[in-house]
Amino acid sequence: MLVVLKNSWALLLGMLLLMLGNGLQGTLLGVRGGLESIDSATLGYVMSAYFVGFLVGSQITPVLLQRVGHVRVFAAFGSLVSAAFILYGAFVHPAAWLVLRLIVGLCFSGLYVVAESWMNHSATNETRGQALSTYMVVQMLGMVLGQLLLNVGDPGGYDLFVLLTVLVSVSFAPILLSSSPAPMHETSTPMNVKSLVVASPLASVSMFLLGGIYSILFAMAPVYAVSQGFSVASVSVFVTMVFMGGLVFQFPIGWFSDRMDRRQLIIALTAIGAFAGIFGSLFGNSFIVLLAIALILGGTSTPLYSLIVAYANDYLEPEQMSAASGGLLFLNGSGAMGGPIVAGYLMSRFGNHWFFVIISTLMLSICVYGLYRMTQRSTIDVDDQAPMMPISVRSTAVLTEVAAEIAIEQAEELAIEAEEEAEEIYERKDFGDDEKDGTDESLK
């Protein structure tokens, strides 16, 4: 871990600042939208624009990297994000915000690709797993701390939008001044949807539905909190608990994932999330209950991304894993685009509690489909499962493929260890038989 920090501290510091800005901007727009009396349905379209831009950015960034290189793409996208953040406060209108959110999502997709390429390039084969875990922790920590920054200024004013711009602008300095240009990371062509469904129906359907869960939970949570009449401080705490759940439960769930049937774990997590959503819709007037619900929903939904990728890998050949990770990323992004729109409409039409109802419905859909799939396909032995690597739903194809490569390496190492252990047992057995035969001969 110390080696990773020594080699990548500038990149990690820059990413922390970048995530502080990204974490704050979504919550700030939700709060400011409520103060400006923008209805939930309209804000749903605004929030959804980020995920549309992110998906588009994942497709065009590799082309731009090939043409102009990592440093120029990083600087250009960073400048656009900084400008968009300051324009949020200058043009307080849903149409302007929708366009700016689209630009921000597109640019953040490119920024993540460059940062993750640098991270992968700076790590060695021995430290790549630790680098991936550290990067994930920094991402989540930045999102958590970003919510707390909502309390340092007035959301109805201009100061917090200036803070957003400053955070993003300053984040580029340690990265650009200390990192050497990264080599082009050639991502493989994503596996098409039909091939993914054939290889793993549960992973494909779950990843699409998880995209909707994630986008609703993380984009519409501040909209829900403001609609419930929460104070600014309460909104920041509520959204913080969502991100905190993902940070706290990611690694424990990863530990269970490598030691039990992953389908059972997917079913259990989604069942817990579904019941938590039901409780949230019924007891929305209790702030303490809502904080617990937010923690549970964040803790069950965030690790699902890594878990579903690992489950899909269990049914793939090693050479298919990288392509499948790109296809799953596309499915997740496709599901995320419509989540806030649907939730915003239902919240505006039928009440705020539909924020939890729709999340619970999506969770329950994964749970029920998982139970059905258990009747259609036999269980893989736990010893034959590919190791689960922590991956964020905000990750790009670069990081998902790096995680797939690490999982392949670990699976190969486990296979070699198992083979060596089997040979050792076999040799001991042979030695014992020879020793027994010699004893019998002497007795004769």
Joined together, the tokens standing for residue 28 give 């700030």
Query: Looking at residues 256-281, what average pLDDT do you find?
Result: 92
Q: What is the CATH number of the domain that holds 171?
A: 1.20.1250.20
- Indicate left, alpha or beta for 189 from its phi (over 0: left) and psi (-120 to 50: alpha): beta
Angle between helices 318-350 and 397-443 (to 10 degrees): 130
Residue span of the structural domain in which 112 resides: 2-178+190-420
Confidence of residue 282 (pLDDT cuts 50, 70, 90): very high
pLDDT tens-digit readout, 304-336? 988 888 888 888 777 677 677 778 888 988 999
pLDDT tens-digit readout, 341-382? 999 999 999 999 999 999 999 999 999 999 999 988 877 777
Confidence of residue 443 (pLDDT cuts 50, 70, 90): very low
- For 378, list phi and psi in degrees, rounded to 5: -70, 160
- The verdict on residue 197 lying in a domain is yes
Asked whether residue 38 carries a pLDDT value surpassing 90, the answer given is: yes
**CA-CA distance, 281 to 272, in Å (whole number)?**
14
- Indicate left, alpha or beta for 38 from its phi (over 0: left) and psi (-120 to 50: alpha): beta
Query: Looking at residues 401-417, what average pLDDT do you find?
Result: 65
CA distances from 31 to 166, 274, 292 (A): 20, 26, 21
CB hemisphere CA count around 305 (13 angstroms): 32
- The verdict on residue 184 lying in a domain is no
pLDDT tens-digit readout, 95-152? 999 999 999 999 998 888 877 777 777 666 666 667 777 888 888 888 889 999 999 9
pLDDT tens-digit readout, 204-259? 999 999 999 999 999 999 999 999 999 999 999 999 999 999 888 888 888 888 78
Sign of the torsion formed by the C-alpha atoms of 132, 133, 135 and 136: positive
- The verdict on residue 435 lying in a domain is no
- The verdict on residue 442 lying in a domain is no
**CA-CA distance, 161 to 85, in Å (whole number)?**
6
- The verdict on residue 430 lying in a domain is no
Question: What is the value of pTM for the model shown?
Answer: 0.85
- The verdict on residue 427 lying in a domain is no
- The verdict on residue 439 lying in a domain is no
- The verdict on residue 428 lying in a domain is no
How many structural domains are present in the chain? 1
